[in-house]
Structure 1
Amino acid sequence: MSWIRDLKNELVKLVELIEDSQLKKIVLDVLEKPELTYSNTSPVINLEESPAAPRKHHFFTGGLLLHTTSVVKIAIALSEIIGEVYGIRINRDLVIASALLHDIYKYYQYTRDDVYGGYKMREDWYLAHHYALVGELVMRKAPEKLIRVVSEIHGDTPFTTIEGLIVHLADSLDAKLGEILQNIVFNKIKDFESTCRLYKVVDKLITEKNPREIFLLLFEKPDEFREIVNKACSSISAETT
């Protein structure tokens, strides 16, 4: 899964875009040591393998890192557009920092789904990921301006910062994009394969290759896409018999 390692390295490079040394240190510390310091409950999967949202968007292995990378880049682009068009002064460092961290503790919420494939919610975890993030940032003595922005991203509190709104919009856009692309993949597979569990086969394909290659084959080389799906389904069937 070299593409997942590449994504993790890309996220670290995005941290380097943060000029505020305090923000940069906090974000890097969380990425390098993402374990919650105030809970005795341990995650059952690691950050690198985590999906973004099982059964919703980026449900596959590595989906959380892929979604996060996209959200950061969309948020940076939105910041530039909003600043240019509307003349609003935006703290770019806060946008990047909060986008990098906005979903990081989702991996505490999930476990593998051995029946249907992919992942599912844990039954023994008790804290919504964005609440976990706010608590962890407080424990790590993060600046209040960062805590304020990340608390607004998921829409649970009124928007009082333009940075929180920007990352919220970027998050929503990429989540919707991921959901639509997944549905296209599912529908295409259903055209010629009815025996495979969809979540299992797509997770297997993306884990063994990478999302870019899967979408390239889907849209530009449909015969090759059909071939790798059939092979993956045969492999999964052999594993379960």
Structure 2
Amino acid sequence: MVRVELNPLGGKRYRENEAIKGEMSLNMERLKAELEELLELIGDEELRLRVRELLMDGDIPLEGEALPLDETPAGARVHHAYRGGLLQHTVSVARLTLTLCDLIEELYGGEVDRDLALAGALLHDVMKRYVYTPKPGGGYLSPPLGERLDHLTLLVAEAYRRGLPLELLHIIAAHHGDRGPIEPKTLEALIVYIADLADSEMSKRILRAAEYLVRMATGQEVRITSSQEALEIIKAKAKEGWEGVRRLRET
């Protein structure tokens, strides 16, 4: 399904074949449709419109150009570090957020402002569109704006400029937990923090596991460039052992 190729910078990376490229394209279309469905779940019409504007806005007055949402990675290396990773991560965090809202309300007897939590989940990483740019040979680097300001600072500033609610600003500012400028101080902020952490960790571990399997099977250092590739490798190892991983290497 996939094979290793030398890239112009001298490293090795996996390259998707046409079947996987087609699957990824279809997956992006499905994710974009699901993103629209998630937006519609915000019951407060004014909040929904303002979240949509910020999520889809390509005319924010910032230095440099924004990548399209479905072409942006969610990270340069650690998690969802591939084209479309941001869209995948955003949808996943939003779905996890809604699940956690259900658990809090149905099992723990709490009350959650689902509109605020969902809005925070959908927006939490949107300014990553401005802090990554593709580099020759694969991967991403930071343009001048991204070298000086991180996505969290940019988003809080833009959300404040647009007059979004303080409680939503807090969810955004606190979604990195104790690694960010402020820890969650509301239930909604805690939910989004946990959802973001869970999805980021899952992606990171899947990608690193696949890279480890290829390294052990072939002796090659590779960089996995999509979750589909990583899961194909993990499945091959589970079903066929090391020979399955080597088979993918040779295909």
Counterpart in 1 of 2:235? 219
Counterpart in 2 of 1:4? 28
Asked if the contact 1:214–1:225 (Cα under 8 Å) also holds between the matched residues in 2, the reply is no
Which deviates more, 80-89 or 212-221? 212-221
The normalised TM-score by structure 2 is 0.78
Asked if the contact 1:18–1:24 (Cα under 8 Å) also holds between the matched residues in 2, the reply is yes
Counterpart in 2 of 1:26? 50
Unmatched tracts of structure 2, length 5 or more: 1-24
CA distance in structure 2 between the partners assigned to 1:8 and 1:225 by the alignment: 32
Match of 2:250, SS state, is helix
Whether 1:15 and 2:39 are equivalent positions in the alignment is: yes
1:124 Cα deviation (Å)? 4.4
CA distance in structure 2 between the partners assigned to 1:180 and 1:132 by the alignment: 28
Match of 1:75, SS state, is helix
Counterpart in 2 of 1:42? 65
Asked if the contact 2:72–2:129 (Cα under 8 Å) also holds between the matched residues in 1, the reply is yes
Q: 1:97 to 1:67 in 2, by over 3 A?
A: same
Aligned length: 219
1:153 Cα deviation (Å)? 1.6
Unmatched tracts of structure 1, length 5 or more: 232-241
User: Which amino acid counterpart does residue 33 of structure 1 have in structure 2?
Assistant: D
Match of 1:153, SS state, is coil
User: Which amino acid counterpart does residue 169 of structure 1 have in structure 2?
Assistant: I
Counterpart in 1 of 2:203? 178
Q: 1:13 to 1:145 in 2, by over 3 A?
A: same
Counterpart in 1 of 2:109? 87
User: Which amino acid counterpart does residue 250 of structure 2 have in structure 1?
Assistant: N
Counterpart in 1 of 2:3? none
Which deviates more, 211-220 or 123-132? 211-220
User: Which amino acid counterpart does residue 202 of structure 2 have in structure 1?
Assistant: L
Counterpart in 1 of 2:141? 120
Counterpart in 1 of 2:96? 74
Q: 1:230 to 1:120 in 2, by over 3 A?
A: farther
Cα-to-partner distance string for 1:63-82 (whole Å, 9 max, x where unaligned): 11111111111111111112
CA RMSD of aligned residues (A): 2.3
Asked if the contact 1:185–1:218 (Cα under 8 Å) also holds between the matched residues in 2, the reply is yes
CA distance in structure 2 between the partners assigned to 1:46 and 1:194 by the alignment: 36
1:188 to 201, 213, 232: 213
CA distance in structure 1 between the partners assigned to 2:40 and 2:86 by the alignment: 20
Match of 2:69, SS state, is coil
